[in-house]
């Protein structure tokens, strides 16, 4: 007979033990990095020009405006709490004390400040700021500073979007803008876990774009880049309207969609907060021409306000696999999550047990994503396939100290075009 334990009262006893299964946790998706010109000049010794994380508009304005003050706080769907003294303090900082008129010239500090405010006003919660140190007003100086900022961002793993509002605000030709856009897209392609949100130059005549600028070349770079059109007119930090690049507002929409639905949901058909109007009003024909080139349009619809009306990357015309923003970002999220959560496997014995454990962990993670609606199929085996066995790990790869796992996924794609066929049956009764 089994020996009864001593000194225990009659009852039920539970003993916990680890299962040995390594759980894969989802990586972040909603943190952008904004590279631009801040009004306040900083000291290199204090790390002013290195990437710094801010979690509120006030935190940004205290660090990067000329005076410390209480800023504006905005949330989508709620009344923005306005502190006039703070707003005027920011305005004075970014415009040099001049009272702006509409349209306003975007002086030093304005594009970055409005982009960050637009991000928080549209649902963003945290972002990185990378002030660019330029030595003159030439665009080449901005590109050099942008290069330095992007190199610094390579050391920041939790960045998932990259935007540079000053690039579009200061470029005088499409060639200049393309130089900066290519660098941002190349950075995102290199890092593999972030996507660029690009702007075009603003045309003050209001003439709609007939063709998308060839801002980014190379299919690998294009799949990590998005472009939005047109610029948006915002209330302005002083309550007076100005027209600014939309990248900050769009980044906020991406973050809000991630929080409400998930990274697999296309960040489109959703409203833009803190926007008064659009610089250009597009019709369906103009929208269609631009969308076929991968340009995501901002549209105004009766009764709905101003909406993001597109969810494509710049690879839309060339690469069906990476046509959609949510597909590109979902794969970034999956690969980043698996990478971060499997570091435990480094230096483990490279054998069947390790392969099975890795396979089980990845399958459990992908099953959870399938249940949330991120992957296609009515059953998990239709949504993904994970191969990690002796077919992917030969003796040669083992001798090199490598473990290879092939992961195949079927991401959901957005329903862009909804068609209805309506037939009237004469004389039919209900």
Give the rounded distance of the alpha carbon of 139 from its chain centre: 25
d(CA 278, CA 243): 8
Which pLDDT does position 69 carry in this prediction?
36
Cα 73 to Cα 71: distance, rounded to the nearest angstrom: 7
The per-residue pLDDT string of the chain (430 residues; one tens digit each, 9 = 90 and over) reads 555 556 678 878 777 665 566 888 888 999 999 999 998 877 766 789 999 999 999 999 999 975 433 333 333 333 333 333 333 344 344 434 433 334 445 788 899 999 999 999 999 999 999 999 998 889 999 999 999 999 999 999 999 999 999 999 999 988 999 999 999 999 999 999 999 999 999 887 777 776 677 899 999 999 999 999 999 999 988 777 999 999 999 999 999 999 999 999 999 999 999 999 999 999 999 999 999 889 999 999 999 999 999 999 999 888 889 999 999 999 999 999 999 999 999 999 999 999 999 999 999 999 999 999 999 999 999 999 999 999 999 999 999 999 999 999 999 998 766 556 665 666 544 4
> Residue 8 corresponds to which tokens in the numbers above?
């225990």
**Residue 181, SS3 per DSSP:** helix
In whole angstroms, what is the distance from residue 268 CA to residue 68 CA? 36
Side-by-side strand order, sheet with 232-234: 242-244, 232-234, 277-278
| Side-chain half-sphere CA neighbours of 303 within 13 A | 0
DSSP per-residue string spanning 242-278: EEE-SHHHHHHHHHHHHHHT-TTS-S-SEEPSS--EE
- Three-state DSSP at 45 gives helix
Query: In whole angstroms, what is the distance from residue 214 CA to residue 312 CA?
Result: 15
Looking up tokens 């998706």, which residue turns up? 29
In three-state secondary structure terms, 229 is strand
Taking the C-alpha atoms of residue 300 and residue 280, their distance in angstroms, rounded to an integer, is 10
Backbone φ, ψ for residue 54 (5° rounding)? -125, 145
How many beta carbons lie within 10 A of that of residue 426, not counting itself? 4
pLDDT for position 416: 60
pLDDT of residue 239: 79
Cβ neighbours, 10 Å, residue 20: 8
Cβ atoms of 252 and 223 within 8 Å: the answer is no
pLDDT given at position 105: 55
Helical H runs in 138-283?
Answer: 139-153, 165-170, 174-191, 219-222, 247-260
Per-position DSSP letters for 325-365, written without gaps between them: HHHHHHHHHHHHHHHHHTGGGTTS--SHHHHHHHHHHHHHH
How far is Cα 365 from Cα 25, in angstroms, rounded to an integer? Answer: 8
* Cα distance between residue 350 and residue 327, in whole Å: 32
Distance CA 289, CA 295 (A): 9
Check if the beta carbon of residue 40 is closer than 8 Å to that of residue 94: no
Q: Report the DSSP pairing between strands 232-234 and 242-244.
A: antiparallel
């Amino acid at each position: 007979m089994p020996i009864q334990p001593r000194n225990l009262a009659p009852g039920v006893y539970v003993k916990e033990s680890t299962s040995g299964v390594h759980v894969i946790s989802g990586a972040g998706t909603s943190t952008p990095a904004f590279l631009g010109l801040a009004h306040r000049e900083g000291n290199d010794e204090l790390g002013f020009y290195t990437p710094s994380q801010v979690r509120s508009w006030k935190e940004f304005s205290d660090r990067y405006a000329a005076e410390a003050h209480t800023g504006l706080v905005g949330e989508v769907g709620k009344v923005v709490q306005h502190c006039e003294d703070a707003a005027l303090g920011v305005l004075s900082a970014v415009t040099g004390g001049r009272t702006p008129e509409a349209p306003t010239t975007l002086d030093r500090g304005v594009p970055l400040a409005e982009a960050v405010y637009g991000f928080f006003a549209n649902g963003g919660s945290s972002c990185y700021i990378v002030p660019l140190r330029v030595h003159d007003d030439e665009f080449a100086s901005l590109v050099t500073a942008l290069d330095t900022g992007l190199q610094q961002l390579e050391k920041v793993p939790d960045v998932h979007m990259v935007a540079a509002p000053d690039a579009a605000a200061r470029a005088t030709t499409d060639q200049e803008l393309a130089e900066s856009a290519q660098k941002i897209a190349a950075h995102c392609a290199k890092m593999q876990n972030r996507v660029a949100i690009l702007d075009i130059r603003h045309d003050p005549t209001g003439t709609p774009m007939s063709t998308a600028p060839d801002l980014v070349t190379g299919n690998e770079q294009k799949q990590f880049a998005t472009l939005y059109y047109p610029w948006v007119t915002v209330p302005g930090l002083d309550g007076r309207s100005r027209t600014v690049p939309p990248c900050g507002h769009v980044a906020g929409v991406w973050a809000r969609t991630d929080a409400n639905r998930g990274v697999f949901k296309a960040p489109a058909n959703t409203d833009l907060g803190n926007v008064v109007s659009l610089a250009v009003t597009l019709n369906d024909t103009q929208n269609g021409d631009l969308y076929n080139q991968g340009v995501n349009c901002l549209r105004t619809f009766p009764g709905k306000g101003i909406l993001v009306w597109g969810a494509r990357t710049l690879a839309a015309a060339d690469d069906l696999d990476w046509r959609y923003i949510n597909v590109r970002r979902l794969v970034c999220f999956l690969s980043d999550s698996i990478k971060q959560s499997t570091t435990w496997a480094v230096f483990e014995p490279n054998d069947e047990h390790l392969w099975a454990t890795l396979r089980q962990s990845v399958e459990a993670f992908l099953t959870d994503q399938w249940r949330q609606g991120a992957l296609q199929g009515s059953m998990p085996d239709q949504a993904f396939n994970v191969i990690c066995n002796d077919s992917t790990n030969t003796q040669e790869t083992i001798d090199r100290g490598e473990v290879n796992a092939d992961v195949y996924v079927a991401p959901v794609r957005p329903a862009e075009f909804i068609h209805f066929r309506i037939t009237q049956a004469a004389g039919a009764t209900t």
